Chains A and B, each alone.
Chain A
Amino acid sequence: MRLLVLAMLVVFTGCTNIPLQTRPKVPATGQPLKTVAELGALPDATAKSKAAFAEASKVLTHARCVNCHPPDDSPRQRELHEPHDPPVARGLGGFGSPNMYCPTCHQLENVEGTQLPGAPNWHLAPIEMAWLGKTPAQICNQLKDPARNGGKSLEKIVDHVTNDKLVGWGWAPGGEREPAPGTQKVFGELMAAWAENGAVCEEESR
C-alpha cells in the first residue's frame, strides 16, 4: 500500500521539480555601479584610472559577461557558470558547430515567454579573450594587449563596450538572469575614464 501511495505521488507530482543543484536566487535588477563622479576626488591620473577599472570590473567579471568569454570550447549559463545546455561547441568563429550554430536557436532578441536569450550577432568571444576565472588585473592587462583583445585600440574597446548590442544584452538579459551591474552607459564611461587616464592596471598577483 505504501508503495502504491508513493507511486501515485510520483505520478501526480512529477520528479522534475527537484533541482539538480542549488542555484542562487536571482535578483530582478542588477547590482549598483558607481559613476565616474561618484568615485570621488582622486589625487592623480593613475588613481583615477585604477579606480575606474576597479568599478568597471564588477561588470567584466559578472556572469552576463564571462559566461560568453570562456577559456575552453563551452559557453556557460546562469549565475554559477554552468555548461551550456544542450551541449554546444565553440566552432568556427565562436558561432557553434554544424547543426548547433548559435542562430539555430538564438534569435535577435530574447524570446518572450521563454528562457531563451538573444541579441544580434550572438556568439562566443574568441578564446584569447577568455575572462572566466580571471582576476580584474589579469583582464585589465588582457584588454590592453592587441594579441588578446582582437587587435583593438583602447578607443575601439571603449566604443565596443559602450555601443555593441550584444554587450548591451548583459543589462537586459531577460528570463531568470541577473542583469549586469549599473547600465551600459555608466560602464562605458568608466572604461573611457580608465583609458583616458592611462589605462593603468593593478599588478597581477603571482
Chain B
Amino acid sequence: MTITLDVNGKQVEVDADPKMPLLWALRDVLGLTGTKYGCGEALCGACTVHVDGDARRACVTPIERVADGAKITTIEGLSPDGSHPLQKAWVAQCVPQCGFCQTGQIMSAAALLKRNPAPSDEEIDRALAGNLCRCGTYLRIRAAVKSVGGAK
C-alpha cells in the first residue's frame, strides 16, 4: 500500500504495510538513519522524532497514524546544516560519549524548548525523563539545554 508522508518538509511516498513503525519507514525505506533504534518499546527515547512539533516515539508509531498530513521532523530536518542552537550547544558542552541516544535527546530537547523556552532544571529533567543515556551524560545534556533555553 502506498502511503504519503510529510517528512522534513517534503512529501514522500512509502510502499509499506500501514502498521509499519515509522522508525522502519524512516530508516529502511527513506534512508534517514539519524533516528536510532533502541528498545523498540517506547522505553528509551532513542527513536524520538517530532510529529506536528511534539515529541513522538517512532518505534511504536504506525505510519498510518501519521499519514494524514502530519508534519514529521527527524534529526536530519532539525536544521539544514546541523546548526540548530541545540546542536551547537551539544558540541560546545561535549555532551555525547558513545552518541547513540543523542539524536533522541536533541529531538526531545528541541520539542521542549518550543513549548517552554526557558525551562528549569526540574522541567528539563521531567521532559527528558523518557530519554535514557547509558553513558550517563545527563548533567551535560541538562547544561546544554539550559545554555540554549536560558536559566530560570
Interface residues of A (CB under 8 A from B): 85-89, 97-101, 103-105, 107-108, 111, 113-116
Quick check: which of B4-12, B26-34, B38-46 contacts chain A, the rest being far away?
B38-46
Distance from A181 Cβ to chain B, minimum over Cβ atoms (Å): 27
The answer to whether A116 and B111 have CB atoms under 8 Å apart is no
The answer to whether B56 and A99 have CB atoms under 8 Å apart is no
Q: A111 to B108: give the CA distance in the assembly, Å.
A: 22
The answer to whether B57 and A104 have CB atoms under 8 Å apart is yes
B42: A residues at CB distance < 8 A: 104-105, 111, 114, 116
The answer to whether B41 and A99 have CB atoms under 8 Å apart is no
Q: Does B84 contact A (CB under 8 A)?
A: no
Count of chain B residues with a beta carbon within 8 Å of a chain A beta carbon: 23
Q: Of A88, A104, A113, A114, which one neighbours B54 at CB under 8 angstroms?
A: A104
Q: Which residue of B lies closest to A91 (CB)?
A: B126
A113: B residues at CB distance < 8 A: 40
Q: Which residue of A lies closest to B41 (CB)?
A: A114
The answer to whether B126 and A114 have CB atoms under 8 Å apart is no
Q: Does B60 contact A (CB under 8 A)?
A: yes
B54: A residues at CB distance < 8 A: 99, 101, 103-104
| CB-defined A-B contacts under 8 Å, sample of 6 | A98-B115, A100-B129, A104-B54, A104-B55, A107-B61, A116-B41
The answer to whether A107 and B56 have CB atoms under 8 Å apart is no
The answer to whether A98 and B65 have CB atoms under 8 Å apart is no
| Interface of chain B residues 81 through 136 with chain A (CB within 8 A) | 108, 111-112, 115-116, 123, 126-130
The answer to whether A100 and B127 have CB atoms under 8 Å apart is yes
A86: B residues at CB distance < 8 A: 43, 129-130
Q: Does B62 contact A (CB under 8 A)?
A: yes
B65: A residues at CB distance < 8 A: 107-108
Distance from A100 Cβ to chain B, minimum over Cβ atoms (Å): 6
A114: B residues at CB distance < 8 A: 40-42, 60
Q: Of A88, A98, A105, which one neighbours B112 at CB under 8 angstroms?
A: A98
